[in-house]
C-alpha cells in the first residue's frame, strides 16, 4: 500500500467513525437526551449546531448552511492540495492534515444533509465548568490543528537555529 494511501485511510476511518457515532447519537440520545458516562466528567448529550465552533452564528436569522458548507468545501480542497504537496515522510504533518480533512468533511456531510451538525460529547467538571458539546469531527479538527501548530513551531525553531 502506498504511503499516501495510509494517510487517506486515516481520514476515511475517522470520517466513518464520526458518521457512525453521530448516527448512534441521533437514534439513541435524541429520545433520552443524555447518558451519564463518567459522573461529574463525561456524558453523552444530544445537541445540534447550525453555526460553527462553539455555536457561533447558530442563531443567525439567515440560513447560513450553504455558506458554511461552501467554506468547508474550500477548506477541504485546500487541505487535500496542501497534503498532496507535502512529502510522505513528513508523518506528523500528514497526520495533522488527515485529521483536519476528516473533521472538515464529517461536519460538512452533516451540514449539507441535515442543515446542522450533530454533537454529543459533553465534557464537564461537576456542574461548574462545561466544555461546549462536540463530536468526533470536532475532536479531529482540534487535534489536527494542535499537531499542525506544534509542527510549525518545531520547523520555525529549526529554521532559526539554521540561520544563526
**Residue 47 in grid coordinates:** 445537541
Going by the DSSP 8-state scheme, the letter that residue 52 receives in this structure is S
Using CA atoms, how far apart are residues 164 and 4, in angstroms rounded to an integer? Answer: 35
Among candidate residues 18, 110, 119, 122, the one labeled active-site is 119
CA distances to 18, 44, 119, 129, 131 from 126, in Å: 26, 15, 20, 7, 11
CB 76 within 8 A of CB 101: yes
Catalytic-role residue among 18, 110, 122, 138: 138
Q: Among this protein's residues, is 110 annotated catalytic?
A: no
* Per-residue burial over 27-59, b = 16 or more CB atoms within 10 Å of its CB, e = otherwise: eebeeeeeeeeeeeeebbbbbbbbbbeebeeee
| Cα→Cα distances 72→66, 104, 142, Å | 10, 6, 15
138 is catalytic: yes
Contact 129, 38 (CB under 8 A): no
Indicate which residues carry an active-site annotation: 119, 138
Amino acid at each position: 500500500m502506498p504511503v499516501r494511501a495510509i494517510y487517506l485511510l486515516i481520514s476515511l476511518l475517522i470520517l466513518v467513525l464520526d458518521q457512525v457515532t453521530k448516527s448512534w447519537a441521533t437514534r439513541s440520545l435524541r429520545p433520552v437526551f443524555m447518558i451519564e458516562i463518567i459522573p461529574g466528567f463525561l456524558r453523552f448529550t444530544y445537541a445540534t449546531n447550525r453555526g460553527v465552533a462553539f455555536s457561533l452564528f447558530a442563531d443567525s436569522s439567515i440560513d447560513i448552511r450553504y455558506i458554511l458548507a461552501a467554506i468547508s468545501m474550500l477548506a477541504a480542497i485546500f487541505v487535500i492540495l496542501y497534503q498532496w504537496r507535502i512529502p510522505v515522510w513528513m508523518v506528523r504533518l500528514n497526520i495533522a492534515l488527515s485529521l483536519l480533512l476528516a473533521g472538515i468533511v464529517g461536519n460538512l456531510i452533516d451540514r449539507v444533509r441535515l442543515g446542522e451538525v450533530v454533537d454529543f460529547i459533553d465534557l464537564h467538571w461537576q456542574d461548574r465548568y462545561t466544555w461546549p458539546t462536540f463530536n468526533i469531527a470536532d475532536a479531529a479538527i482540534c487535534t489536527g490543528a494542535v499537531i499542525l501548530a506544534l509542527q510549525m513551531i518545531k520547523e520555525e525553531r529549526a529554521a532559526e537555529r539554521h540561520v544563526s
